[in-house]
Amino acid sequence: MKRVVVTGLGAITPLGNSVNEFWQNILAGKSGAGPITKFDSSKFKTQFACEVKGFDATVYLEKKEIKKYDLFTQYAIAASDEAIRDAGIDFSSMSTADRAEAGVIWASGNGGIGTFEEQLKEFYAGDGTPRFNPYFIPKMIADIAAGVISIRHQLHGPNYCTVSACASSNTAIINAFDTIRLGKANIVIAGGSEAAVTAASVGGFNAAQALSKNNEGYATASKPFDAGRDGFVLGEGAGALVLEEWEHAVKRGARIYAEMIGGGMAADAYHLTGTPPDGHGAALGMEKALSDAGIDASQVDYINAHATSTPLGDLSELHAIHKVFGTKPAVSATKSMTGHLLGAAGAVETVITVLAVQNDIVPATINTTQLDEATPAALNIVLGEPRKQTVQYALNNTFGFGGHTASSLFKKYTT
């Protein structure tokens, strides 16, 4: 098996539209939540979200191109462009043969849901005559971001989209890892994007009793593990990684953030939207990641928890962590700051996890003031302020509706 390293990072988030801005705001413990601006939410039970702020698509695209792409694809282009620049890769200077060894595996849980809503609203408001935008279908379908990234950089390697609800982009990263270590590509741009702060998303998640309704206290509404949590805060954005075969990266003199060493995927096989109290699917996925990496649970220093701030989901994951790892690893929930980016969550949180490994720092869980009394005893949950400590190995968890679980494992890079 070939070694796989991370050589580039990109991010479009509610806390900043670059990796540096995003990371600094994570360390500062800022909340990305605010009143919804993308539609009139005054009649909705939830009227706030973690929206991306100040995003200017014209920085990345010509105006005529913008019309072709849903916002989730625009976010994907921006984040992947940053990751590619960060990796120091100039695909335009590569031969066709080299670009055939570079691929894109990109995720989205909802694809162009904004486009879908807009087009149907126009249709039903009219006289019934079908006057759909010719770009309606390519703007809407979830795989289009992967295709657009490959077209943009003329990458002819493996190219597809993973959809496993909120586990989607962590699944994409694990698939990219497998693709490279099996020798099927030298470089894969992996990640995910989501632009689901829309009326249908908010209304649907409200109907499912999933979103926080703390409209007055939106800045502190996302409080994973807290006794008073009442649901997740919807977020949007994109996260991107350049994963690269180790020898290929070393040969071109790349800067290496961390090494990816394992990935585990499993299923709860339990419920459409709920998680089992004992977290057996999550535990199995984490155990598979450890086995894949060939390390012991006691070696893991940090876990970026999925922890969305839902009453049942948070406890289920904590029980799974306690079962697999005991009380040693530091655990934090950065959705307390970013909100829940759905299919993009895994990629954005992988960026955080990789930077935690590189910088020996564990980001905090903010807003949590009183742990749920059912929290397993003596878990090492980092609250309030980031913690400086050695992070040799770190795990990132993401779980999705349908019972999907995905856990990716990284280590500090050494030659």
Catalytic residues: 166
Amino acid identity for residue 12 in this structure? I
Strand segments, DSSP code E, in 61-199 are 102-107, 159-162, 187-194
For the record, the structure tokens of 17 come out as 């539209």
Token pair 């009227």 is found at 47
Long-range contacts of 247-256 (CB under 8 A, 24+ apart): 247/2, 247/3, 248/186, 248/187, 249/5, 249/7, 250/415, 252/88, 254/5, 254/7, 254/87, 254/88, 255/7, 255/88, 256/5, 256/6, 256/7, 256/413
Instruction: Report the run of H or E that residue 395 belongs to, with start and end.
Output: strand 393-400
Whole-angstrom distance, CA of residue 173 vs CA of residue 346: 9
Tokens of 102: 């570079």
Q: Of the candidates 240, 378, 197, 224, which has an alpha carbon nearest to the alpha carbon of residue 306?
A: 224
Block residue for tokens 């670009």:
99
Q: Hunting for tokens 């993973």 — which residue is that?
A: 162
* Sheet strands (E) in 89-154: 102-107
Q: Give the sign of the dihedral formed by CA 348, CA 353, CA 358, CA 362.
A: positive
The torsion angle over the Cα atoms of residues 302, 85, 398 and 401, rounded to 10 degrees, is: 170
Q: What is the CA radius of gyration of the chain?
A: 20
